[in-house]
Structure 1
Amino acid sequence: MEYSFKTIGSYENKDLIEYTIENKNGIKVTVLNLGGVITGIYTPDKAGSFKNIVLGYEDINDYIENEAYYGAIIGRFAGRIYTGKIEIQGKVYELETNHLGVNNLHGGTFGYHTKLWNVCGVEEDNQVGLVLEYTSENGEAGFPGEVKVKVKYILNDDNEFYFMVAGETDKTTVLNITNHSYFNLSGDAERNILNHKLMIKASNYLELSEDFAATGKVLKVEETPFDFRIEKEIGRDVSEDHYQIKAGGGYDHPFKFDDEIGLVELKDEKSGRAMTVTTDNPYVVVYATNYPVEKKLYNGNYPELRMAVCLETQNAPIGINACNKEESILKPGEQYTHYTKYKFYTL
């Protein structure tokens, strides 16, 4: 097990640091203190060749704004809050509407993805990791309450990588945190993910309005392009003439897991790379790069439509008539805790 770090630049007159954790099998994860961004996850293909399976920028400075949210910790609220207004204990808080002028997206322009996190390494017999901490002040980005957040990235010798989150507040607020990595199992974004096979153990998904807000309606996946209960290629139905495909520009929807522990599988048969995702979050938002950000990737190319897929494990977005709000309410004395585990293997 190995843990190392290096200074690669500066941000707000402080060091911009990239951390590396690696297990005995050669699987490696690289993480920035800026936004807790995962810049790389290096796994082998069926021939044993290690390549990066997440998207990232060529220019390290592009992570400062990170409009695509590549690899970042997302908070205070992952996903959208319709109208950017939220009522908590009788008081209405007005948030930035940084998405279409209608929704608060991913905590606003200056969400957790733009913050410098305190980072320390942890090493044990069969695992190595990072502990990241950040205190979000009362009123930051318009949200009430001081929130203390701790994120752990843990990699073990069974090729399992954990994203674990804990949070607490001194004032009733909302909290909904995810990681926003874009996965492409071909390695170094060699090709798009249309032929990747995806399975989601979810019989239902949430309807979106034309401005991407959750309507409060839960829809069945059966006999729709959203049925991934049996694995299928992402590209098979992503351009179907379906009103929800049109609403999202493709897949950009919360899938509600059938079980208390949710399950997702992603496979690329050409490279032989595969992964399973298990989580205690109730939803996974699947986003298939419907709107690529025109900034160069680390491989020297620009991202294209369907270049990667995000698997954002989280609570439901807060939509029309404040639907789903209650599941993300966090009160003083309570603990927000969730985990997501990624298991990497070859076919």
Structure 2
Amino acid sequence: MIKILVLVFLCTLSAVCAARPTVQKKLFGTHKGKPVYSYNLVNSDSSSVKILDYGGIITNLYTKDRYGKLGDIVLGFDNIQDYETKSPYFGALVGRYANRIAKGTFELDGVKYKLAINNPPNSLHGGLVGFDKRIWDVKRVISEEDSVGLELTLTSADMEEGFPGQLEVTVIYLLNNKNELSIEYKATTNKKTVINLTNHSYFNLAAGKAKNVLNHTVVIDADRFTIVDETQIPTGENRKVENTPFDFRKGQLIGDYIWTVKGGYDHNFCLNNPGTLHQVATVKEEISGRVLKVSTDQPGMQFYSGNFLDGSYKGKDSIVYVQHYGFAMETQHYPDSPNQREFPTTVLEPGQVYQTKTVYAW
């Protein structure tokens, strides 16, 4: 009888231990002679996310389909060299300013600042060497009973890429046993500046089993979207989505009206009820049964349908990424906000704390 009780106890203990999430660190490559490490976060449901200290890049995100089979639902590369030289921001932390700033210029208190023009005629995603091309410091590996994660920190010097102020940035990735991946951003500055941070993961919920994402059903909680000019800079008009190809409020396939949108979807949606963390978008892929839910406290979300994927990118497992092979949902402030007074402000003052959170759930 005692042996049976001991066996039951050990089996129970083993099950509890197996359920505890884990973190595994592995060398991924080198960047300018410095090691780059991959951190594999695994939860009790066997979902996992791999994150590099280079660019804070999410390289893999494994989730289960309707049959319980795991599949990788994000686009990326197998090696550091492609992330350094070819990547269109696959999975990266983007800053100091995500999205575009018109003609690479903005003013603060009468002082005009000039940025690199890396998306002619505009500045895009922080310039030539943005946060996506830096090795972040891993300040802490988080290992708790119901979650695992990474705390990454980065210092951006005053006038780096043309932005004023020394910026101290902290990003916390946390994967819990509820199949939620949260990304929490914090930053402070010693001089008045502008800031707009996001993660630029490209998703394909079919996990490589479909040729594109046009069969994904998307719901976005936004009554308005931002009108842009031919260079993707907002005109200042936020138009109602009603009776347009941008009305995702009740859900529609990405492919339903994409061919009526010049160039495809690459637009900022003005999210309803900004300022509090709440669900703003849902994406579903019927064949796999996978569902991705997006929650944020940000005022905007850039919905991008992978229009510029052109077959020139060979990703993980030698998969060629053709047009519309992935989609992005970048929670952030509106594009070109430093030059658009009517938009929610992106100004950060000394003594203030920039803080925002986004959660991806499945």
Same fold (TM over 0.5): yes
CA distance in 2, matches of 1:33, 1:159: 22
Q: Which residue does the alignment assign to 1:127?
A: 147
Kindly indicate whether the alpha-carbon contact (under 8 Å) linking 1:213 and 1:319 is maintained by their aligned counterparts in 2. Answer: no
Is 1:258 paired with 2:272?
A: yes
Deviation sequence 1:172-224 (CA, Å, 0-9, x none): 00000000000100013643100000000000000000111111111110000
CA apart distance, 1:13: 1.5
* C-alpha contact (below 8 Å) 1:189/1:299 kept by paired residues: no
Q: 1:107 corresponds to which residue? A: 126
Per-residue deviation at 1:159? 0.7
Give the aligned partner of residue 15 of structure 2: none
Higher relative helix content: 2
Whether 1:284 aligns to 2:284 is: no
Alpha-carbon separation, structure 2, partners of 1:134 and 1:65: 21
Q: Secondary structure at the match of 1:78?
A: coil
Q: Is the 8 A contact 1:34 1:64 kept in 2?
A: no
Q: Matches of 2:326 and 2:237 in 1, distance apart?
A: 27
1:136 has 2:150 as partner: no
Going from structure 1 to structure 2, the CA distance change for 1:181 and 1:324 (only over 3 Å counts) comes to farther
> What is the aligned partner in structure 2 of residue 334 from structure 1?
352
Q: Counterpart of 2:295 in structure 1: which amino acid? A: T
> Separation in 1 of the partners of 2:164 and 2:103?
17
Are residue 46 (structure 1) and residue 55 (structure 2) matched? no
Q: Which moved more, 1:62-71 or 1:317-326?
A: 317-326
2:173 aligned counterpart, secondary structure: strand
Pick from 318, 323, 330 the counterpart of residue 336 of structure 2: 318
Rounded Cα–Cα distance in structure 2 between residues aligned with 1:167 and 1:262: 24
Q: CA RMSD in A?
A: 1.4
184-193 or 137-146, larger mean C-alpha shift:
184-193
Q: Which amino acid aligns with 1:123?
A: S
Which residue is 2:178 aligned to?
Answer: 158
Q: What is the aligned partner in structure 1 of residue 320 from structure 2?
A: 302
Aligned equivalent of 1:202: 222
Conserved 8 A contact 2:296-2:359? yes
Q: Is the Cα–Cα contact under 8 Å of residues 73 and 178 in structure 1 kept in the other structure?
A: yes
Gaps of 5+ in 2: 1-20
Give the TM-score normalised by structure 2.
0.90
Residue 121 of structure 2 contacts residue 231 of structure 2 at CA under 8 Å; is this kept in 1? Answer: yes
Give the number of the structure with larger relative contact order, counting CA–CA contacts within 8 Å between residues 6 or more apart. 1
Count of matched residue pairs: 337
Q: Which moved more, 1:331-340 or 1:9-18?
A: 9-18
Q: Which amino acid aligns with 1:141?
A: E
* 8 Å contact kept, 2:75–2:326: yes
Residues 281-306 of structure 1 deviation map (CA, whole Å, 9 limit, x = unaligned): 11110000011162211031221111
Match of 1:94 among 86, 92, 114: 114
Distance 1:257 1:85 in 2: 26
| Aligned counterparts of 1:72 and 1:233: Cα–Cα separation in 2 | 26
Distance 1:130 1:49, change over 3 A: same
Q: Please say which structure displays the higher CA radius of gyration.
A: 2
1:215, 1:323 within 8 Å by CA — same for their partners in 2?
A: no
Q: Does 1:55 align with 2:86?
A: no
**In structure 1, distance between residues paired with 2:50 and 2:183:** 13
TM-score normalised according to structure 1 size: 0.94
4+ residue stretches of structure 1 with deviation over 3 A?
319-326
CA gap of 1:139–1:326, structure 2 versus 1, over 3 A, is farther
User: Relative to 1, partners in 2 of residues 1:320 and 1:5: Cα closer, same or farther, differing over 3 Å?
Assistant: closer
Letter in 2 for 1:107: G
Show structure 1 runs of 5+ residues with no match.
Answer: none
Percent identity, aligned pairs only?
Answer: 37
Could you tell me which amino acid in structure 1 is paired with residue 357 of structure 2?
Y
CA contact (8 A) 2:31 2:80 kept: no
Conserved? CA contact 2:106–2:339, under 8 Å: no
Match of 2:31 in 1: 11
Q: Which amino acid aligns with 2:235?
A: T
20-29 or 326-335, which deviates more: 326-335
Note if contact 1:183-1:310 (Cα within 8 Å) is conserved in structure 2. yes
